[in-house]
Amino acid sequence: MSVPPSKWSSETSLNQLHSRDESELLDVIDQLRFQGVGRFLGEDGLPQLIVAGDQSSGKSSVLEALTRVRFPIRSKQCTTFATELKLRRSTTSRISTRIKPGPNRTEEDKQRLARFKESCSSPEQFPELIDLARACMKGIDRESSETFFDDILQVEIFGPDLAPLTVVDLPGIIHFHNNDQEVSTVSDLVQKYMRHRNSIILAVVAASNDYNNQIILKYATRIVPGGERVLGIITKPDTLTPDSDRELDFLNLARNTEIKFEHGWHVVRNWDSDTKNSTFEERDQVEQDFFENSSWAGLPTLNPGLGISSLRQRLSEILLDHIRTILPSIRKKLSEDREESEGLLRRLGSPRETTREQQDYLSNISDAFYEHMQDALDGIYRRSKFFNGEHRRLRAVIRNLNEEFAIDMLQKGQKWYILPDDLAEDSTPIAKLLTGRAYLRSKFLHEVVLPLVRSERGHELPGVFNHLLIGSLFRRQMEPWENLAKAHIQRVWFAINRCLEEVLGHITNETTCNNLLMHVIDPAMKSRQLEVMKKLQELLLPHRDYEPMNLDPTFFLNVQTVNPQKENSGSLDKNSRTSPEDPSNLGPDSGTVGANDGHGSLSDQYECSNALDAMQSYYKPAMIQFINNVASLGIEQCLLVGLPKIFSSATVRNMNDDILIAVAAESRAIVTERSRLSKKLELLETGLETIRRFTPRGKHSVSFKCIVPVLR
């Protein structure tokens, strides 16, 4: 049964820690993280108080005095597990608890502990819940000695005036224990919480022991070297003998001169098990009387603070400073998360159950698809951030690939590379770059051209080569063209497919993208691939199957100038320095007419040289024509023309019902995701709106500190 809100409000002072406006802001942030929306906040997102100290340092008493929630305080019992107190605002008052099993528990224990759920309606009943949780963690053997657990008791305290805050009571750090594993468990747990960057560490030090021997101070100075998140708290000052050396040591510690923390030190007097039945008001009065009549009264008023009431006020100031520091980054992250969520929701589209809704959904995607693909083909990259990736700039990618193809054709397109005779085969660097066989001209004439001349003779007169010889030489020379062109087309085809896939991935969700690729894009691109390969065979046909044809009026002049060596020396090759026009070389003693020195007769050599010159003159313009035809008639005409229209509104209208459902129908997962994103956006908008009210605007704006006053 819930207690009336008024009764709860009179029993707690948690609302002293926060102003109303600050509580509202923290409530929004906490709700975001609690719902899983504030993932960007992580473990460090929401400010929380970490009460840490050595065993029996009095930290639980400090926490109880701060929260006005009863903790078990027994002289022979200590905290054996972490307790997270999550304060929540509610119209009714109640306390609920559950156990988060530790990572080292067995699956059976995890299931047993996860079933633990207890609640009560009054803060006074909280110690009983603690005892029940401890018994559950012990398991069947409840008579065993005290052990430390890595389980976490999660406590939610609901009340009408509670500010959203997480307060953590940690097990006391152990100095000596028979079980080293338990010492390590507690040490790791305490340090893990202390490393949370948004945790405010209340480092509790008991005046009953030498502070140099208290481990919490070693942890604090190592984990937070600057002490910026630490407030030191000295407990049990009543155990010190007045005017003793130990009291003087602790007085100096409290002045923040021995161990410096950014937030300084605070001193509180704990109640103990002998005064556990006192009311909170009685406890505060005893503490006030103690400080007014002791050496502590002579300390500076600002640092350290004295008493639990002023500690609440100091924590309020620290929390406000912390919020003021992290508020801009939280707002930025909220905005980024909102933008991302809006994009995800936009890509999911509107709900679509009917055929008309599914068609409208795909039509909207097709419009965006057309715009992006048309810009990609036109080389207009400034309209969308999509084109920030260079591989998405399709026109640039295609042009670069075409240029690479042209270079490949120039370097690798010819079966033979014929070098001038005045260059040694291994002396020219270009020969090393060529994949085909490199020949000196004279050697090529003898080893390649001469056998063809002899095998293709007809009724020609001596010295006149068969015109079919040009085609025979050319068809052998252009053999690499087909494979080079196929490889180029394949690279272009992959580049186009990649762009298509990334455009769809940019404008729609993953499921719709995959469905469109499978049912629309892939079939269309497969058809275009077959078309361009068919076109390639068509472009190769006149070069591969027909005799060479060139209507260029200057072709004859090109033949005459293709071999400068022949023109300069008048020779046919380096083994024959004679000319058939010279009558002195035609006598019976000349050794040329009908001679065969292994390089063929003079007429053979003349035929070979002229045939090679003609083939080389024809090859270059034919190769350039082929390169251009592959780029324009193959790549452009077959793959790129009409590419933005392969998925259009007309495509959507012509879809049969099966394809339409396969592509556009929503799965249960999409329906769930849309609902989740919609709720998430509502929370993000609420958070941003709350933060905007705390953001100063203009030069006349008041400071954040004025907006959220500190209770004094």
Last residue within a domain, chosen from 641, 664, 687: 664
Q: Specify if 218 maps to a domain.
A: no
Check residues 239 and 420 and name the one with the higher pLDDT.
239
Q: What pLDDT is recorded for position 632?
A: 94
Rounded to 10 degrees, what is the CA torsion of 379, 383, 384, 386?
10
Residues 6+ apart with CB under 8 A from 592: 576, 578, 585, 586, 601, 602
Overall domain count for the chain: 2
The answer, as to whether pTM is greater than 0.85, is no
The answer to whether the beta carbons of residues 348 and 300 sit under 8 Å apart is no
Q: Which of 54, 66, 47, 23 is nearest to 229 (CA)?
A: 47
Q: What pLDDT is recorded for position 384?
A: 84
Kindly state the average pLDDT of the residues 435-443: 68
pLDDT at 554 over 50: yes
pLDDT at 551 over 80: no
Tokens representing 178 are 């028979």
Residues 6+ apart with CB under 8 A from 317: 710
Q: CA separation (Å) from 674 to 60, 368, 622?
A: 45, 21, 59
Last residue within a domain, chosen from 626, 641, 664: 664
Tokens representing 617 are 């003159």
The most confident of the ranges 35-44, 281-290, 442-451 is: 281-290
Q: pLDDT for 73-113, tens place per residue?
A: 554 455 678 888 877 767 788 889 999 888 778 888 888 99
Least confident among 222-226, 567-571, 632-636, 653-657: 567-571
Please give the distance of CA 96 from its chain centroid, rounded to a whole number. Answer: 38
The most confident of the ranges 356-365, 470-479, 635-644 is: 635-644
For residue 223, the one-letter residue type is: I
The answer to whether the beta carbons of residues 502 and 645 sit under 8 Å apart is no
pLDDT at 158 over 50: yes
pLDDT at 375 over 70: yes
Q: Which of 473, 475, 704, 430 is nearest to 610 (CA)?
A: 473
Q: Specify if 510 maps to a domain.
A: yes
Burial of 51 (0-12, 13-18, 19+ CB in 10 A): buried
pLDDT at 317 over 70: yes
Cis amide linkage into residue 5, ω under 30° from 0: no
Least confident among 22-26, 587-591, 641-645, 690-694: 587-591
Q: What residue numbers bound the domain in which 136 lies? A: 80-169
Q: Specify if 306 maps to a domain.
A: no
Q: What pLDDT is recorded for position 230?
A: 92
Give the max Cα distance, the chain: 144
pLDDT band of 490, cuts 50, 70, 90: very high
Last residue within a domain, chosen from 141, 169, 197: 169
Q: What pLDDT is recorded for position 618?
A: 82
pLDDT at 195 over 50: yes
Question: Percentage of residues in the chain with pLDDT exceeding 90?
Answer: 21
Q: Specify if 3 maps to a domain.
A: no
Q: Specify if 135 maps to a domain.
A: yes
Check residues 414 and 418 and name the one with the higher pLDDT.
414
Q: Specify if 155 maps to a domain.
A: yes
Q: Specify if 90 maps to a domain.
A: yes
CATH number of the structural domain spanning residue 477: 1.20.120
Question: Percentage of residues in the chain with pLDDT exceeding 70?
Answer: 72
pLDDT band of 531, cuts 50, 70, 90: very high
Q: Specify if 214 maps to a domain.
A: no
Q: pLDDT for 230-287, tens place per residue?
A: 999 999 998 888 889 999 999 999 989 889 998 899 999 887 656 667 777 888 888 8
pLDDT band of 37, cuts 50, 70, 90: very low
pLDDT at 639 over 70: yes
State how beta strands 265-267 and 305-306 pair.
parallel
Q: pLDDT for 593-616, tens place per residue?
A: 334 445 555 666 666 777 777 777
pLDDT at 62 over 90: no
